[in-house]
Amino acid sequence: MFGKWVTKMNEEKIKSQILAIRDTGLTNMFDINMVQRLAYEREFYELVTFIEENPGGYSHFLFTGEFKDKKAKNQS
C-alpha cells in the first residue's frame, strides 16, 4: 500500500526522479509505460515501483505536486 512504504525520504527521492525524467523531455509524463521504461533505464527503481503500485498517486502528483497520502492526512 502507498502509505506503508513511502516515507518522507522516499517522497523526496521519488519527486527528484520524476523531475529528472520530466527534464529529459523524452516523453509525455502521462505516458506511464514510457516513464517507467526511462526510470528503469536510469535505475530509478523507487519510481518504477511507485508507478506500478500507485498509478493514481503518480497522476495525483503530476496534477498537484503533492503525494496523495499527505492530502488524506491533512483531512483527518
Q: What is the pLDDT along the chain (76 residues), one digit of tens a residue?
A: 445 566 878 999 999 999 999 999 999 999 999 999 999 999 999 999 999 999 999 999 999 999 876 445 444 4
Nine-digit cell at 73? Answer: 492526512
* Cβ neighbours for 24, distance < 8 A, ≥ 6 positions apart: 38
pLDDT value of residue 71: 42
Question: What is the 8-class DSSP label of residue 43?
Answer: T
Contacts of 30 (CB under 8 A, 6+ apart): 59, 62
**pLDDT for res 3:** 53
Scan for cell 517522497, then name that residue.
11
Residue 70: the pLDDT is 47
Cβ 18 vs Cβ 47: under 8 Å: yes
